[in-house]
A and B are shown apart, each in its own frame.
Chain A
């Protein structure tokens, strides 16, 4: 039962442009959402999060948007840099318990 879905396995973007990574979820009880970034041969690294009481959270070049009615969140990276090339995982949790991951989206930023 895939409660967190990332339907795009890969995304390619030109350096300096915007990268938009999407995530959908099915469980309306999720109340906290996180994005992790993973380089090859490393564990996932926390990037940014958002609580269900908010619809936007910004941290430097990274912004996460949450649309609860659509059960959809997105990660915007502006401007994209080659060092952003990695696999990005969306994750969701309920009441600080459990954490379900999406399948990941491989982002490639071309110089």
Chain B
């Protein structure tokens, strides 16, 4: 199994809603990441978890809250988002550090209305 699975694939939420994005991998990878990608832009790193501990937080607003319940799961909790937060949210995992080959999920297309 070399897949990173993200749910849901699409999400539309209002600015007062609370929602969560989920990511799962069963490759035994110990590092997991959240990226945000706007249209025609490169993926931008948001958070890195290494051995289930948050190791990098790229100055992301507190309305995004990551959670790593165990080594296979990564969540991104969303609350009070803004329309400009609409983007593709990508989860990735890798065996070792962030600079090594990462496997990406298909992403969650988020629209904030």
Contacts and interface: CB of A to CB of B under 8 A. Distances in A.
Identify whether the interface residues of A are mostly helix, strand, loop, or mixed: strand
B12 interface: no
Nearest to A34: B101
Interface residues of A, number: 26
A96 B99 contact: yes
B4 A43 contact: yes
A94 B99 contact: yes
Nearest to A96: B97
Interface stretch (B13-21, B38-46, B59-67, B73-81): B38-46
Nearest to A93: B99
A42 B6 CA distance: 11
Tell me if B's interface is mostly helix, strand, loop or mixed: loop
A96 B100 contact: yes
Nearest to A45: B104
Contacts, number: 64
A52 to B, nearest CB: 11
Contact of A93 (B44, B98, B104, B107): B98
Contacts of A9: 40
Top 8 A-B residue pairs of the complex, sorted by shortest distance between their CB atoms: A96-B97, A93-B99, A43-B104, A101-B42, A96-B99, A46-B101, A32-B99, A44-B104
Given A96-B98, A99-B45, 4 more contacts: A43-B106, A95-B97, A99-B98, A103-B42
11 contacts: A32-B100, A34-B101, A43-B105, A44-B90, A94-B99, A95-B99, A97-B97, A97-B98, A98-B98, A101-B44, A103-B41
